[in-house]
Structure 1
């Protein structure tokens, strides 16, 4: 029994985190000296600091930033709230935000929301309970009660891709892009147009759909509208089949995102159509797959690195000037011309 107990103690020691007290004993200094050595701007003799840093390196010591933040009532956690973070452009934006926040000194926490309001509110309560510094919302689906809970607790919010009172916003001008897509199609003599949309009904998707339809009809073109169940590849196959199998098949299709465009293009080729000779396609997002030889998709580019950098800038500005009115940043999205459609202006 004694041998087993000793073995257990050794295992426990191995699993126990190295603390500032261990560093102090190794360096032969006080616990407070270790604390000052790892606090920017604190006073500590150069020789003492060198001993402490050498001991910390030997022991593998790391400052417990979470504990330090909780004592200061600020954990440095930043919540990234997103529905289906693994899908399409959201995956690239979440990755860019994570990298930018780590560079800022934050600890990003990805909250993969569920589909019910209660799941969303539980996610936000988790962030508030851990004293998150701020929340960045990438999804268009959280209900208004989600935002209200954060506001009541004084937590800064950055919202990407939707409009919400009393929050800072980052948006791309999807309406302008959709109008430009319609104008390019009509300028090339295409008057039977298609819109491949989504039943998801998020604000960004609705904005693109409405703008394309209005502009196309203003220019005298007919628009056939079909929507997949979601803004993904399967949704693109659904919408593509409904559009392409029509007797009055469109000459060109605007897709509300690239994943839908991929589905549309694959169904078109399955139906024996050549792209762009028989059918022109424009997408939205410019995910890396858009440049694959299988697609060579002409699409509007959202820049995830630029959007992530702007989100961090907004957090910095909000911390410096908390009483500023809500800030709205809106970016234009350039058209990246590839093989699925070439406008006259690019020829």
Structure 2
């Protein structure tokens, strides 16, 4: 009796098969296959029987098996380091939604930072024969790009600098130059930058563009760097920028932060440890417009990256590349809209 219950329990956990649908509908197994194949020849009344039986049984087509037969897995790899951090988390969320709506199966590969983690991530990505790979900003190594190319996978880069690939990028330089112009035009004379020592290409682009624009307007820029572009990194940058002799002449009166997480860490440290008022003593501009930027505790002035638009652009690149593998690489550069809140003075 116990064995019979165990076997029934196991059977109950199995997926409903096409053969079960055929039996319930009173049709052949091939009729079920034709009913779920777009454009296949099947009588309307037969298709109606199949669909009704499938609905009652809870049947779904085995897309994985179909993909293997067609040599097209529908899996799309999303390669990312620290997908849970800051703007990257919202971009991964938008990408997975966009891919599911396309009919793809997103496979998020967290590359980690240890060699063992990197090898495991590579094995997962290429072992499942993903039909394409999207590589996000951060620090997934160039070895992923090289392996994808050797395996003939279409590659979509977001916020990266590799050549001969389709790219989606935000206009980092344009936004950073605008930040410098706004701060100078509003009377700030002691500009600072909060960044990281080992910056990704996107963050390095923001740092360089801000510094160059400020210098072109006759300003010098003091740099404070954290270890990572995180909340703790922003606090470390604040310590580097504000822990001098405390004189107003030398202390920065405006800071451009390479992302919102650093800006939030810097603001908390500036207020709590150095007793500075934002924006009366120090104006702050961030980058990304993560949800926390709009919180009442910060009301951060920033530049918005729209994760939904970036995901839409990445999927459009993917469709184009799969349809025409030999098309020349395309770069789509999206504008970062200026969002003014309470960490900057209007004039």
Please indicate the TM-score interval, normalised by the length of the shorter structure.
over 0.9
2:47 alignment partner in structure 1 = 49
Aligned 8 A contact 1:178 1:212 in 2: yes
Aligned 8 A contact 1:195 1:209 in 2: yes
Aligned pairs, number: 342
1:328 aligns with 2:331: yes
Residue among 249, 252, 259 paired with 1:250: 252
1:121, CA displacement in angstroms?
A: 4.7
Deviations 1:10-42 (A, max 9, x none): 112111211101111111111111011011111
1:281 alignment partner in structure 2 = 284
Residue among 309, 317, 321 paired with 1:314: 317
Task: State how 1:77-226 maps to structure 2 within 5 Å.
Answer: 77-116=75-114, 119-226=117-224
Aligned 8 A contact 1:205 1:256 in 2: yes
Aligned 8 A contact 1:81 1:139 in 2: no
Structure 1: give runs of 5+ residues left out of the alignment: none
TM-score normalized with structure 2 length: 0.95
1:8 alignment partner in structure 2 = 6
Aligned 8 A contact 1:75 1:133 in 2: yes
Deviations 1:293-341 (A, max 9, x none): 1101110111111100000110111112111111111122121111101
1:17 alignment partner in structure 2 = 15
Aligned 8 A contact 1:70 1:131 in 2: no
Aligned 8 A contact 1:196 1:226 in 2: yes
1:75, CA displacement in angstroms?
A: 1.1
Residue among 14, 34, 41 paired with 1:36: 34
TM-score normalized with structure 1 length: 0.95
Aligned 8 A contact 2:301 2:344 in 1: yes
Deviations 1:234-275 (A, max 9, x none): 111111122122232101000000000001111111122111
RMSD: 1.3
1:219, CA displacement in angstroms?
A: 1.3
Between the aligned partners of 1:281 and 1:95, the Cα distance in structure 2 is 28
1:261 alignment partner in structure 2 = 263
Aligned 8 A contact 1:178 1:208 in 2: yes
Q: Secondary structure at the match of 2:82?
A: coil
Aligned 8 A contact 1:196 1:260 in 2: yes
Residue among 25, 28, 33 paired with 1:27: 25
Between the aligned partners of 1:157 and 1:124, the Cα distance in structure 2 is 15
Aligned 8 A contact 1:121 1:146 in 2: no
